[in-house]
Structure 1
Amino acid sequence: MKIYKVYYQESKQQAPVRENTQSLYIEAESEGHVRRLLKDRPYNIEFVQALDTHYLEYEKEHAAFEMEQ
């Protein structure tokens, strides 16, 4: 399992606008698995990024890091 950072808009009807982009962290087997886990939410997913060890440590230190359940 890897940890992924998901960039999204709060609504599927909302066009991607950088200033409104939210992010969350989720543990999954693949990008496809992430998308399946989040399919019931009304999110417009812009990008799913697998976090390597160094980037994950950076995110934990500098971002509001909280794993999605």
Structure 2
Amino acid sequence: MIYKVFYQESKERSPRRELTHALYLEVDAASELEGRIIARQLVEDNTSYNIEFIELLSDNHLEYEKTHADYKLTEF
């Protein structure tokens, strides 16, 4: 499963939509909820980012992201 994680680079400032970034994680999980938990833990353990939202990408959404966004899987 591929998850898109929306985040702010710093926990020190109030979140602003203009400063939101995204990264993509491949997570092996039994359910969507378990995948979100694993994705959050990976980001929290390896960065100081302020996580805003974690979204599971459907096949169609993933294909769109690959062609229209700065798509690159992040590995920790």
* TM-score greater than 0.5 by the shorter chain: yes
Map Cα deviations across residues 12-67 of structure 1 (whole Å, 9 max, x no partner).
Answer: 12221110001000011210000111112100000000000000000001001000
Q: Higher strand share goes to which structure?
A: 1
Q: RMSD in angstroms over aligned alpha carbons?
A: 0.8
**Aligned match of 2:44:** 39
Q: Assess if the C-alpha contact under 8 Å between 1:14 and 1:44 holds in 2.
A: no
Q: Assess if the C-alpha contact under 8 Å between 1:25 and 1:67 holds in 2.
A: yes
Query: In the comparison of the two structures, how many residue pairs are matched?
Result: 68
CA distance in 1, matches of 2:26, 2:13: 25
Task: Could you list the structure 1 runs, at least 4 aligned residues long, displaced by more than 4 angstroms after superposition.
Answer: none
1:67 to 46, 61, 73: 73
Q: Runs of 5+ in structure 1 lacking a partner?
A: none
Give TM-score scaled by structure 1 length. Answer: 0.93
Give TM-score scaled by structure 2 length. Answer: 0.85
Q: Runs of 5+ in structure 2 lacking a partner?
A: 30-34
- For 2:67, give the aligned amino acid: E
Q: Which range moved further: 38-47 or 51-60? A: 38-47
